[in-house]
Structure 1
Amino acid sequence: MSIFKDGFTLMITTHGPGRDFHLKISPLVAKIITGLIVAMLIFVIYLVAVYGRVYYLALQCQRYQRLNEELRISMNNLNKLKQELQVSENFRRKLSNLLGLEKTPLPINIEVIGENKSEKGVKIENFARRDVPSILPVRGFISQSFTPEHPAIDIAAMQGTPVVASADGFVKEVGWDSVYGNYVTLEHGTYSTFYGHLFKADVTKNDRVVTGQVIGYVGSTGVSSSPHLHYGVKLNGRWVDPRTYFVR
Structure 2
Amino acid sequence: MKLEIDGVHFNYQSQSVLEDVNFKLDHGEVLALIGPNGSGKSTLLKCINRILKPQVGSILIDGDITTDYHQQEMAKCVGYVPQEESKNFPTSVFETVMMGRKPYINFKAQDEDLEIVAAIIDELGLEDIAQRNINQLSGGQQQKVLVGRALAQQPEVLLLDEPTSNLDLKHQLEILNLIQAQIKDNISSVIALHDLSLAARYSDKIIILKDGKIFAAGGLEVLTPENLEAVYEVEVSVADVGGRKVIIPERPI
Q: TM-score range by the shorter chain?
A: under 0.3
Larger radius of gyration between Structure 1 and Structure 2: 1
Q: With a CA cutoff of 8 Å and minimum separation of 6, indicate the structure with the bigger relative contact order.
A: 2
Q: TM-score, normalised by structure 2?
A: 0.23
